[in-house]
């Protein structure tokens, strides 16, 4: 019996136990209620980043908005990802583990409170404080692992803890640098953060669970796509409150729904965990989801921008507003193809489908006020074509693979 199931049967977390690694082949490994709660709280920060991106793009400050969004979203995504892989290997579900995880949740809420300042005034102090709270809490988890293990496993845990602490010192220095230098310093520190797992696991790889990881990433993708639908709905409602513009808003709403539905369908069309079990691409797959998550959230922001432009509340052209939707949509499709979909495609037509669809969606930008609907129709046609090609090849459809791919 696993520690998680044992504590669940007793009605709560068990007593403090040594932090032993969970098995890679553990049966029926699924996301826990604490992990789901963790995800929902992180989406609060995603929502704030998307909201500020909308304001920046609508006010014709797209360059500044996209840069700030990329920086803030990295902090959100990296903290989420580090916890996810740690929990996949070391979720003991005892009282200290739960309390430290709740501290990480408090950290992301602090970060969310500082997002507006980061965008508007380039004041990253609150974002930094929230990020450090999350990261130092994770250091505490790794030190528990080090205290409970020996040999190579202990070395890995100490490398993680030491690497995270060093990176936090670097982020502190970022706060005092001139504004024009910060993006370059951010890039260096982001690369340093991403190097920590690569260095730490040289002595021994952690025992993350492929099925569990695939499910966790899939669930977060669903939550972010849900946030995208919410953002678009709020945008349409707000527009209707001040303007009788139903005729121009319906095509945007329909196109947006088609895009989100297609994004969900395409992401879950293949059994992701099979690739994680068989290949050595876990790091690339995990890191590449920065683009998938950021683009999924940015689609919602883009739909809000498109709505504001349609009712003449923004200061940008129709083509620029269309690009706010088509660019992240195309990037989402292309990244999904690069990370895992291409490994399950057979034949030239299946391989070319997603890249070609991404290109056509980019061209939809030129359709102006009809761009979102056109992009949605292309996305829907992509799903229909993909299913047709799969069935003609005599392979199972989504009913046979969706459960596996979702974890």
pLDDT digits (tens, 9 = 90+) for 374-389: 999 999 999 999 988 8
Boundary residue ending a domain (200, 233, 251)? 200
pLDDT more than 70, % of the chain: 90
The answer on 194 and 215 residing in a single domain is no
Boundary residue ending a domain (166, 200, 234)? 200
Ranges 3-12, 62-71, 318-327, 389-398: which has the least confidence: 3-12
User: What is the rounded average pLDDT of the residues 390-401?
Assistant: 61
Boundary residue ending a domain (200, 226, 259)? 200
Number of domains in the chain: 2
Q: Is the pLDDT of residue 80 over 70?
A: yes
The answer on 329 and 350 residing in a single domain is yes
Domain-embedded: residue 105: yes
Please state, as a whole number, how many other Cβ atoms lie within 10 Å of the Cβ of residue 398.
16
Residue 109: domain span: 25-200
At 20-42, the pLDDT tens digits run 888 887 888 889 999 999 999 99
Q: Report the distance separating Cα 321 and Cα 309, nearest Å.
A: 7
Mean pLDDT of the chain: 86
The answer on 190 and 97 residing in a single domain is yes
The answer on 223 and 128 residing in a single domain is no
Q: Report the distance separating Cα 174 and Cα 196, nearest Å.
A: 19
Q: Report the distance separating Cα 221 and Cα 267, nearest Å.
A: 9
User: What is the rounded average pLDDT of the residues 278-302?
Assistant: 88
The answer on 82 and 217 residing in a single domain is no
Residue among 310, 323, 315 at smallest CA distance from 366: 323
Q: Report the distance separating Cα 16 and Cα 5, nearest Å.
A: 15
CATH number of the domain residue 323 falls in: 1.20.1410
The answer on 125 and 88 residing in a single domain is yes
Q: Is the pTM of this model over 0.75?
A: yes
CB 76 within 8 A of CB 45: yes
318 alpha carbon, distance to own chain's centre: 28
The answer on 368 and 223 residing in a single domain is yes
């Amino acid at each position: 019996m696993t520690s998680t199931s044992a504590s669940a049967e007793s009605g709560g977390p068990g007593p403090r136990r040594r932090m032993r690694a969970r098995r890679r082949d553990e049966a029926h490994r699924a996301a826990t209620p604490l992990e789901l709660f963790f995800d929902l709280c992180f989406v609060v920060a995603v929502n704030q980043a998307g909201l500020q991106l909308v304001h920046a793009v609508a006010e014709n400050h797209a360059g500044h908005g996209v840069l700030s969004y990329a920086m803030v979203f990295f902090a959100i995504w990296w903290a989420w990802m580090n916890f996810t892989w740690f929990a996949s290997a070391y979720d003991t579900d005892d009282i200290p583990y739960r309390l430290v995880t709740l501290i990480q949740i408090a950290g992301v809420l602090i970060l969310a409170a500082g997002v507006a300042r980061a965008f508007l005034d380039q004041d990253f102090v609150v974002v930094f404080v929230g990020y450090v709270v999350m990261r130092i809490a994770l250091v505490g988890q790794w030190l528990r692992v080090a205290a409970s293990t020996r040999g190579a496993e202990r070395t890995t845990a100490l490398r993680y803890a030491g690497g995270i602490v060093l990176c936090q010192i670097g982020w502190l220095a970022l706060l005092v640098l001139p504004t024009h230098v910060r993006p370059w310093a951010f890039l260096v520190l982001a690369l340093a953060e991403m190097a920590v797992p690569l260095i730490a696991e040289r002595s021994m790889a952690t025992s993350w669970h492929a099925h569990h990881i695939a499910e966790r990433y899939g669930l977060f993708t669903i939550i972010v796509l849900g946030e995208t639908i919410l953002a678009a709905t709020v945008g349409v409602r707000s527009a209707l409150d001040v303007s009788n513009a139903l005729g121009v808003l319906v095509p945007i709403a329909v196109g947006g729904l088609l895009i989100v539905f297609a994004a969900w369908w395409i992401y879950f069309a293949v059994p992701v965990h099979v690739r994680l079990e068989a290949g050595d691409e876990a790091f690339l797959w995990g890191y590449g989801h920065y683009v998938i998550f950021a683009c999924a959230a940015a689609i919602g922001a883009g739909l809000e921008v498109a709505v504001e432009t349609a009712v003449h509340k923004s200061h940008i052209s129709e083509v620029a507003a269309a690009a706010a939707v088509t660019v992240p949509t195309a990037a989402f499709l292309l990244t999904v193809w690069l990370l895992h979909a291409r490994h399950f495609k057979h034949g030239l037509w299946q391989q070319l489908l997603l890249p070609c669809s991404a290109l056509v969606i980019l061209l939809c930008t030129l359709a102006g006020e009809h761009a979102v609907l056109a992009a949605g129709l292309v996305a829907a046609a992509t799903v229909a074509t993909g299913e047709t090609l799969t069935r003609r090849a005599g392979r199972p459809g989504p009913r046979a693979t969706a459960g596996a791919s979702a974890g």
